[in-house]
Amino acid sequence: MDYSLLLLIFTSAVFEKTWCLNTTESTTSTPNYSISATFSSLYTTVTVPSLVCENKGILQDGICICPDDWTGTTCNIQNFCPEQKPSHTSKFTFPKTVLGQFASSVERCPPETTNAGMHQASALCNIATHSFDSPNILNCSLTLDAINAWVSGATPEQKQNLASSTQILTSIPERLTPHNITNAAKITNILLSDQQTTQTTDIAISAVATISQLLNASHEMYSSVDHTAISELTQTLQKLSLREKPNPLLVQPKMAVQSLKGQTPIRQVQLTSFKGLNDNFLPDRIKLHITEAEVSKHIVDLQMNVTFSEDFDKDIGFVLYDNDQFFQSKSFKPSLDTKRRVISANLQENSGIDQVQFAVTPSADSTMSLNDFACVFWSYDKQDWITDGCTKNKSPSGHVVCSCKKLKNANFAILMAFDINYQYSEALHWISITGCALSVVGLSVTALYQIITRKSRGGTPTLLVVNICLSMTVFYLLFIFGINNPVQHVNGTKMSGENIVPESDHHKYSDQGPCTAFTALLQFFLLLTFTWNTLYGINVFLLFKNSVSGTPPWFPQVAMAVGWGLPAVIVGISLGSTYRVEEPLGYRQEEFCWLASLDHKQKFNIKKPMFWGFVLPLLLMLISNTAILLHFSYKICRTNPNLNKSRKTSLTKKMMSSFSLAVMLGLSWVTGYILMITQEKNLKFILSVVFCLLNTTQGVQIFILFALRPFLNSNPAILNSLRAPEIGLHKKTFFLWKNKIPESNDSYKSTDGDSP
């Protein structure tokens, strides 16, 4: 990144930015089964001819990745129920819905009911018929509290109605509060715990759909839920996976329950979840095989291989969670949008497990890279992820590998910590250095000239201009020598030998080097510059208001206190509230030494110090400076009828006065705020160039307007010596008619203005 012009980086920051393991037989003498569970991303490469994907499918490595509502090799097979309008069989309207999922009715509960605005009904999109089943209708006065109170003593028929009502009441994620999530978890736990009621397939399907919808709730909601209710629900799901018969309808967008009934002895089971454009589980994308199937790695989203050391003929169950919302850790606090899918592999009570092995390929995008990871399973006693009995390793192929011993019916996960792939700025271009150097020289000369000639204008204007020049000069020097971060972290896996749960999915480095100090100084001196700009404008306003008495005698003392004190207070608050030695990026950026402005999604965040520690104070100053400039321009441009013509100021001088004040007030930064709201690409580029040019040369502009120009005006002899030499013009008159030609007579006329 080359910041070739001064301050462009500031506005750009504000206004723009397999696993496949070789399973080994158990080395212990115990005759128990050995299970090896492998999340695999090493798949057989399959050559597929070039395809033309239909229905918005995307071709990736010769394979069509389809949206949820289409399937097939070229995404040409319908995988949805079309929209259903009201008819004689149903009074409800249901939108187009993916097969195996529930559709919510367009019709809502009336405003006067308890569930005002909630969907009135839902209907399952039938996989076999590609049409909606009979709708489940909600009693708009029924609440989750009431269902939770009634469900235990309800009959199977009543439980079926309560299950569908619970599914409807949890269908809007924005309405899922911690209390609602807790109630829904308790209800579904009761429904799925009853072996007799789960024989009614509709109850299990509605309950699993409800759980899938709970996983869609905001992450913040789970901080206050009843974790005991959630814990009991996950254990019930483990039992359900062993008890329930294989059913594609138990695959919902955010969770799936799969089972394999023991019939003939097997040595391995392979669970595969295939990719789609939408990050959801679908019935036709989850497959179970009792042999290792050869599939292309480009279409596999997740794969788990369970291998036995001896013939195994009992039931196997799997529960897949799309995220870890149900497993709220006290030791691992994620801050990035990384996905941690949790997979539970379960065997019947009489089966033993000697070892579990699993591995994954890090699934971070190009903006992140793996730093470290931990192999964990969920402890129901501690209600947290633990590493007891687990070891980790990293294979040469890049997979992270885990091995856990003596575990049974556990929920496994790999917790990864990532580095952000920062794009560090390059050294400043020579154009930037030249522009800054010229500004430093110009400001230094201006300050010296103002001090030497202070008696001709008074102490207050000199104080203001000198402080502006001083603060801008220091800022330019800091920018040249301190904007680039000298300490750069080279990303790459830095796997520690110990299997320790990381604190977060974002690996953070403690503060190193002088970058934080340079950031604080840059913030201080830039705010200092604009504070003195504003004080200069206030001084001009007071001079117009008190044209006879002039500036109040107390103004210089107040200006010194405000000019140096206000920026110090803002910088102090910024540092005190956001900076920590172990986490410096709360205050500054990593790529270069300036205030933090973006969140982990590279979106501008008003909670960062860039907004309230710089953009907001600067905006208030620019608004006041603009008002002062408009007042000044109005006053000097208004014609006084009492003045005679010789005493009136020319329009050119008035315009020059207004321009000089605009430069001193720093109003060129207004273009930066215009740039922030501009969307048109070409205009944005033009404004960027204008902004950079104006602010790069601000020091030179101040030198010309407040040092060079006054010096030349006060020394007219110098201007006269710079005039071009006079050239006499030869004049001769010609007549067309011969008889009117007088005697030839040459003359010379001087170009001197004093000549007649």
The DSSP code sequence of 20-43 is --------SS--S--EEEEE----
pTM, full prediction? 0.71
CB 335 within 8 A of CB 504: yes
Q: How far apart are CA 27 and CA 5, in angstroms?
A: 66
Q: Which residues contact 547 (CB under 8 A, 6 or more apart)?
A: none
Closest CA to 122 of 147, 143, 101, 102: 102
Cβ(95)–Cβ(117) below 8 Å: no
Beta strands in 177-327 (DSSP E): 251-252, 255-260, 266-274, 286-289, 300-312, 316-321
Q: Distance (Å, rounded) from C-alpha 619 to C-alpha 179?
A: 43
Q: How far apart are CA 756 and CA 633, in angstroms?
A: 39
Q: What is the pLDDT of residue 417?
A: 87
Q: Could you tell me the CA-to-CA distances from 120 to 21, 60, 143 in Å, in that order?
A: 50, 41, 13
Block means of pLDDT (10 residues each) for the chain, 756 residues, are 38 35 32 37 46 89 88 92 88 95 96 95 94 94 95 91 96 95 96 75 92 93 92 93 84 92 78 83 86 67 73 84 92 85 79 62 68 89 89 70 73 86 67 77 90 76 89 90 80 71 85 90 94 91 76 88 95 92 87 84 83 91 90 75 53 75 81 74 78 76 83 68 49 50 41 36
pLDDT attached to residue 100: 93
Q: Give the distance, in angstroms, between the CA of residue 66 and the centroid of all CA atoms in the same chain.
A: 27
At 673, is the secondary structure helix, strand, or coil? helix
Structure tokens at 712: 């030349």
Rounded to whole angstroms, the Cα distance separating 460 from 446 reads: 16
Residues contacting 538, CB < 8 A, separation 6+:
628
pLDDT value of residue 456: 73
| Whole-angstrom distance, CA of residue 349 vs CA of residue 242 | 10
Per-residue model confidence (pLDDT) at position 115: 95
Residue 259 · residue 271 · CB < 8 Å: no
Contact residues for 516 (Cβ-Cβ < 8 A; gap 6+):
579, 584, 587, 588, 593
Would you give the end-to-end CA distance of the chain in angstroms?
64
Q: How much is the pLDDT for 641?
A: 53
Neighbours of 125 (CB within 10 A): 24
Residues constituting the chain: 756
Give the strand pairing for 266-274 and 35-39. Answer: unpaired
Measuring CA to CA, which residue among 304, 314, 263 is closest to residue 23? Answer: 304
What integer pLDDT is reported at residue 45 of this predicted model?
A: 44
Alpha-carbon distance 297 to 276, whole Å? 13
pLDDT for 723? 53
User: 212: closest CA among 244, 245, 252, 182?
Assistant: 252
Coil, strand, or helix at residue 650?
coil
Which structure tokens are listed for 603? Answer: 């979106």
In the numeric block, which tokens belong to residue 109?
A: 């509960």
> Which residues, 6+ apart, have CB-to-CB distance to 330 below 8 Å?
383, 384
Provide the 10 A C-beta neighbour count for residue 69.
20
